[in-house]
Amino acid sequence: MPIKKLHSLSDHGKRVKRIWRRGVIFSEMTSNDYYYRPVQYPNDKYPLKIERDGFVEDPTWHAVILADAGQDYYDNRDGWEDSWPMKFEVIDEDGNKLFSGDVSVEFEPCFDASVDEL
């Protein structure tokens, strides 16, 4: 599914860049209700803004949230340098773990060729 970039106003009237992926919104806002972190880096914490109420409480959305956290980590947090699959946790503001799971990445093979001279 393609990523749609959206812009909207936050509660404080500031323009906030948001990225929509499969129902979950990652935001550059500084105050958020939820965060995610790779389990292997327990001191890291990245914002995770969930737009719809009940997504975190509903286990049917947990895999989507974890996959989107993994994509955000890979794309924006130098996650391409890490070994995959990785385990991620979704935590609240106080650092309490809400749920966790493994996230894997499918890499596309890239082939290069050179032509021999005749």
Question: What is the per-residue pLDDT across 62-105, written as a single tens digit (0 to 9) for each?
Answer: 998 999 899 999 999 989 899 999 999 999 888 999 999 999 99
pLDDT of residue 61: 87
What are 94-103's pLDDT values in tens digits?
Answer: 899 999 999 9
Question: Please, which pLDDT band fits residue 33 given cuts at 50, 70 and 90?
Answer: confident
**Nearest 10 degrees: Cα torsion 61, 65, 67, 70:** -160
Q: State mean pLDDT over 20-33.
A: 48
Fill in the amino acid letter for 54.
G
Q: What is the dihedral of CA 62, 65, 71, 74, to 10 degrees?
A: -80
* Residues 106, 25: Cα–Cα separation, whole Å: 22
In single-letter form, the type of residue at position 41 comes to Y
Q: How is residue 105 written in tokens? A: 């990445």
- Does the predicted TM-score (pTM) go above 0.75? no
